[in-house]
């Protein structure tokens, strides 16, 4: 999902705004535009494109960072993977397509583009520069804390960006009248040139321009980007890092950036590898949790459970730059680092970085790997190199041990506030909740047979987020029977079991080795259509029996399989 965003002021509709909106339409799946004291012409133009509108009329020259941070809350609701940001007078290089943009994200988490400041009948070469115009969403939406010149992207982007070999045409300074309006604005909001160098403000008074030669610009970009790529490659291969500190903030950096940082006022603290993390002795368990916290059903509900147990949890979005992650961990001084799948291109660097600091690493994932198409990832993914590897797979102890992986079986739990049953009139006889799984054709065929004979509804077939959270409680209250199935593997089952039983659903699940020991009141079938058909037909008529089993299973989950209970077990192993 690529989400575009921009901020529109008054009078933009009569200038270059349409061309900018066309860029959002060309590159993005969804776009949101902030109207900042804009008029009806601007609103109508955004509506013409069908983009989302947010109105924020705070004074632009004193509240830029606040306006942009509040905008990020709306962007967050669109579930972005990548973000594209433009001023309302900017147009991308026509050679930069959506496909090429995605290619660039294989190089960096944020992308610098060369801003060509069009000036008169040409361009101003001296005052054209690199700036962020696209970045990967990672949940860190803090902008520079200043009233103007705070950037179009969050602050972290400007420290950890790569360079894209494309330019952006900026039309906002092309006319002399536009430059004069800028001068007046800066005289009002930054009279002492606190937020931008005085030389830039003075340059706005100059009407001279350079000959605009895009062939020359492209050649220069190739040279500059080529050198940046080489530097980035050295960066990723280097294992020598230093801790540096300024203003109470400590980060770790590669050795080749040390001179630059010292010149900017940072002070060297130590060299990574020469010290280990300091241990706090106040008795509080601190967990640096690397994961996805946008949705409650990802890692957020686990983080909340640890906090309910008295732990202090530092949430670190998993796609944050690896250097930032290690700096945050060092500052936090955790008891251990916890991760799920550690979806970060520098995942190995993060695990190694924790090891050289003497900080234990823990991974906790819920998918099946042995015997599944993803089995090859076991020897590839860095989270399997953690000191403790927790999964819900209890049937492959010998295989884990053979690879030297310290594996511990830990079942899934339900978010405690959502562990309850509702009562409602029954609307559905049989339902299944989950996505269509191309790797489990046996299940798909079984569900087809259910659909042929019974009043059957499949929720989440195309969208796994279709029914989540307490909507599941509502659904199960209206349903007589929930059909359950997991990928066939010994002593493994998906979270469908705990999520259904813990929300008051009556579940009939395929028989799996170990499942009845974990859930003694669960109704199972032997894997054949004949047995499943028999069980469905019987329990559809047994209203009182179904309710009795529902209550027994609900009580069992509350007693044994809440997320809080599972977190307690993890802590008992690690601490």
Q: In this structure, are residues 522 and 550 in contact, taking their beta carbons and an 8 Å threshold?
A: no
User: In degrees, to the nearest 5, what angle opens at C-alpha 200 toward C-alphas 199 and 202?
Assistant: 65
The per-residue pLDDT for 231 is: 33
Is the pLDDT at 232 greater than 70? The verdict is no
Q: Residue 244: what are its φ and ψ, rounded to 5°?
A: -130, 155
Is the pLDDT at 108 greater than 90? The verdict is no
Is the pLDDT at 345 greater than 90? The verdict is no
Burial environment of residue 195 by CB neighbours within 10 A (0 to 12, 13 to 18, 19 or more): middle
Helix, strand, or coil (residue 426): coil
Is the model more confident about 142 or about 393? Answer: 393
Is the pLDDT at 156 greater than 90? The verdict is no
Burial environment of residue 241 by CB neighbours within 10 A (0 to 12, 13 to 18, 19 or more): buried
pLDDT digits (tens, 9 = 90+) for 256-309: 677 777 877 777 766 654 443 444 566 789 999 999 887 777 888 899 999 999
E-only strand ranges, 120-227 = 122-123, 129-136, 162-170
First-last CA distance in the chain = 39
Of the candidates 201, 120, 113, 96, the residue with the CA atom closest to the CA atom of residue 152: 113
Is the pLDDT at 230 greater than 50? The verdict is no
Of the candidates 76, 68, 26, the residue with the CA atom closest to the CA atom of residue 49: 26
Q: Whole-prediction pTM value? A: 0.54
Average pLDDT over residues 218-222: 85
Q: In this structure, are residues 289 and 299 in contact, taking their beta carbons and an 8 Å threshold?
A: yes
- CA of 283: how far to CAs of 280, 311, 313, in Å? 8, 10, 14
pLDDT digits (tens, 9 = 90+) for 9-67: 999 999 999 999 999 999 999 999 999 999 999 999 999 999 999 999 999 888 898 99
**Same-fold call for 286-410 versus 419-565:** yes
Burial environment of residue 215 by CB neighbours within 10 A (0 to 12, 13 to 18, 19 or more): exposed
Q: In this structure, are residues 476 and 503 in contact, taking their beta carbons and an 8 Å threshold?
A: yes
Helix, strand, or coil (residue 118): strand
Question: What does the alpha-carbon distance between residue 326 and residue 539 come to, in Å, rounded to a whole number?
Answer: 54
Percent of the chain with pLDDT over 90: 50
Pick the CATH number of 419-565 from 2.60.40.10, 1.10.10.10, 3.40.50.300, 3.40.50.2000: 3.40.50.2000
The per-residue pLDDT for 234 is: 28
The per-residue pLDDT for 30 is: 95
Domain 286-410 fold is Rossmann fold (3.40.50)
Average pLDDT over residues 500-528: 93
Question: What does the alpha-carbon distance between residue 504 and residue 548 come to, in Å, rounded to a whole number?
Answer: 11
The per-residue pLDDT for 330 is: 82
Per-residue pLDDT band for 557 (boundaries 50, 70, 90) equals: very high
Question: What does the alpha-carbon distance between residue 15 and residue 30 come to, in Å, rounded to a whole number?
Answer: 23
Alpha carbons within 13 A on the beta-carbon side of 341: 12
Is the pLDDT at 326 greater than 70? The verdict is yes
pLDDT digits (tens, 9 = 90+) for 55-107: 999 998 888 989 999 999 999 998 898 999 999 999 999 999 999 999 888 77
Is the pLDDT at 437 greater than 90? The verdict is no
Helix, strand, or coil (residue 127): coil
**Helix, strand, coil percentages in the chain from 3-state DSSP, rounded to 5:** 40, 20, 40
Domain map (residue ranges) of the chain: 2-232, 241-271, 286-410, 419-565
Chain center to CA of 299: 11
The per-residue pLDDT for 7 is: 96
């Amino acid at each position: 999902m690529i989400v575009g965003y921009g901020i529109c002021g008054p009078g933009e509709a009569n200038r270059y705004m349409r061309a900018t909106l066309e860029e959002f339409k060309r590159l993005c799946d969804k776009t949101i535009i902030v109207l900042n004291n804009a008029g009806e012409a601007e609103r109508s133009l955004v509506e013409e494109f069908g983009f989302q509108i947010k109105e924020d009329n705070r004074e632009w020259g004193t509240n830029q960072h606040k306006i942009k941070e509040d905008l990020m809350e709306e962007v967050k609701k669109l579930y972005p993977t990548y973000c594209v940001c433009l001023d309302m007078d900017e147009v991308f290089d026509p050679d930069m397509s959506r496909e090429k943009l995605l290619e660039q994200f294989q190089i960096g988490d944020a992308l610098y583009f060369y801003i060509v400041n069009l000036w008169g009948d040409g361009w101003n070469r001296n005052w054209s520069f690199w700036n962020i115009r696209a970045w990967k969403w990672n949940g860190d939406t803090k902008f520079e804390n200043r009233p103007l010149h705070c950037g179009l992207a969050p602050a972290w982007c400007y420290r950890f960006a790569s360079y894209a070999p494309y330019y952006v045409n900026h039309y906002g300074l092309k006319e002399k009248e536009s430059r004069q309006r800028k001068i007046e604005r800066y005289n009002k909001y930054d009279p002492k040139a606190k937020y931008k160098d005085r030389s830039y403000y003075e340059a706005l008074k100059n009407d001279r321009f350079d000959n605009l030669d895009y062939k020359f610009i492209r050649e220069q970009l190739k040279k500059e980007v080529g050198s940046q790529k080489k530097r980035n490659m050295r960066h990723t291969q280097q294992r020598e890092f230093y801790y540096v500190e300024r203003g109470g903030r400590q980060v770790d950096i590669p050795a080749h950036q040390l001179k630059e940082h010292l010149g900017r006022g940072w002070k060297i603290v130590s060299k990574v590898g020469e010290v280990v993390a300091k241990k706090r002795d106040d008795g509080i368990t601190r967990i640096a949790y690397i994961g996805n916290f946008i949705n409650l059903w990802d890692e957020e509900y686990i983080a909340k459970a640890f906090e309910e147990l008295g732990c202090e949890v530092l949430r670190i979005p998993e796609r944050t730059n690896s250097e930032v992650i290690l700096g945050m961990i060092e500052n936090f001084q955790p008891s251990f680092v916890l991760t799920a799948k550690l979806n970060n291109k520098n995942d190995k660097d993060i695990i190694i970085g924790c090891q050289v600091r003497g900080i234990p690493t823990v991974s906790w994932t819920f998918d099946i790997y042995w015997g599944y198409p993803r089995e090859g990832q076991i020897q590839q993914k860095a989270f399997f190199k953690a000191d403790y590897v927790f999964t819900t797979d209890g049937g492959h102890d010998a295989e884990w041990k053979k690879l030297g992986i310290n594996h511990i079986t830990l079942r899934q739990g339900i978010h405690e506030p959502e562990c309850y049953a509702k009562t409602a009139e029954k609307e559905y006889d049989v339902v299944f909740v989950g996505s269509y799984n191309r790797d489990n054709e046996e299940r798909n065929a079984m569900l087809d047979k259910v659909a042929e004979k019974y009043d059957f509804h499949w929720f989440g077939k195309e969208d796994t987020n279709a029914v989540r959270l307490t909507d599941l409680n509502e659904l199960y209250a209206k349903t007589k029977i929930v059909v359950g199935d997991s990928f066939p593997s010994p002593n493994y089952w998906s979270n469908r079991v705990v999520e259904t039983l813990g929300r008051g659903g009556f579940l009939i699940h395929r028989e799996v080795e170990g499942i009845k020991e974990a859930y003694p009141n669960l109704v199972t079938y032997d894997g054949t259509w004949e047995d499943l058909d028999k069980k469905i037909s019987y329990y559809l008529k047994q209203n009182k029996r179904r309710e009795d089993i529902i209550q027994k299973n609900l009580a069992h989950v509350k007693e044994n399989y809440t997320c809080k209970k599972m977190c307690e077990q993890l802590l008992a192993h690690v601490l």
